[in-house]
């Protein structure tokens, strides 16, 4: 094993840890208290955020608008992300995560949300940013009915 290969492996491990921190910041800023101004700084200028049934938002302005609007419906949320698989290749990386999220719709309806994130990251000026965030749903269900009765509930 050469010094160069050890340094490359060390850099990849440090990058994976920074990406985990990026995802943790994303979750923290999405939750209470919600902080759209801090959240949007985690994204590259040409980033994309998308989820089936919600939409595709391209660029920081659209992503920021989406997050500001969603908090009018999703009035409480706690994002738990787990089981990260992160693959770093220089200044780009891919990651996948499971999502478990208790929440509240319009301050009155308790919900469960679960899915998986597939992310792309880009290192810009030494800082990891989201390039693409894609959310696939496992279920969206009211706490009252649960996912066995109504796996893909809508919350309007």
| pLDDT bracket for residue 156 (50, 70, 90) | low
Residue 7 three-state SS:
helix
Residue 110, domain CATH: 3.10.450.50
Going by pLDDT thresholds of 50, 70 and 90, the confidence category of residue 154 is confident
Residues 6+ apart with CB under 8 A from 110: 102, 103, 104, 142, 143, 144
The answer to whether the Cα torsion of 98, 29, 37, 35 is positive or negative is positive
* Mean pLDDT, residues 78-104: 97
Distance between CA atoms of 124 and 85, rounded to whole angstroms? 21
Give percent of the chain above pLDDT 70: 99
Whether 154 is covered by a domain: the verdict is no
Pairing of strands 43-51, 127-142: parallel
For residue 74, tell me if it sits in a domain: yes
In angstroms, the Cα distances linking 98 to 5, 36, 153 are: 31, 22, 19
Domain assignment present for residue 156? The answer is no
Q: Is residue 118 part of a domain?
A: yes
Q: Dump pLDDT digits (tens) for 48-71.
A: 999 998 999 999 999 999 999 998
pLDDT of residue 136: 96
Q: Does residue 155 lie within any of the structural domains? A: no
Report the alpha-carbon angle 154-149-107, nearest 5: 40
- What percent of the chain is modeled with pLDDT above 90? 85
Task: Assess whether pLDDT exceeds 90 at residue 134.
Answer: yes
C-alpha span between 20 and 117 (Å, rounded): 13
Asked if residue 48 belongs to a domain, the reply is yes
Q: What gap in Å lies between CA 58 and CA 35, rounded to an integer?
A: 19
**Model confidence over 109-122: pLDDT tens digits?**
999 999 999 999 99
Domain with 130, as residue range(s), is 3-149
Among 23-27, 55-59, 68-72, 125-129, the range scoring the smallest mean pLDDT is 68-72
**Sign of the torsion formed by the C-alpha atoms of 52, 136, 138 and 23:** negative
More confident residue, 150 or 45: 45
Distance CA 119, CA 84 (A): 11
Per-residue pLDDT band at 155 (split at 50, 70, 90) = low
Confidence of residue 149 (pLDDT cuts 50, 70, 90): confident
The number of distinct structural domains making up the chain is 1
């Amino acid at each position: 094993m050469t010094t160069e290969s050890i340094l490359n492996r060390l850099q990849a491990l440090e990058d994976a840890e920074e990406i985990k921190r990026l995802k943790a910041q994303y979750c923290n800023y999405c939750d209470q208290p919600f902080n759209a101004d801090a959240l949007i700084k985690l994204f590259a200028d040409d980033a994309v955020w998308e989820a089936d049934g919600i939409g595709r938002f391209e660029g920081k302005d659209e992503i920021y608008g989406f997050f500001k609007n969603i908090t009018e419906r999703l009035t409480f949320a706690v994002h738990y992300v787990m089981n990260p698989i992160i693959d770093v290749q220089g200044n780009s990386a891919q990651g996948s995560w499971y999502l478990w999220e208790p929440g509240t719709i319009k301050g009155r309806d308790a919900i469960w949300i679960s899915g998986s994130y597939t992310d792309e990251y880009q290192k810009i000026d030494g800082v990891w940013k989201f390039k693409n965030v894609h959310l696939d749903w496992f279920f969206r269900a009211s706490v009252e009915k649960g996912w066995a009765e109504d796996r893909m509930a809508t919350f309007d």
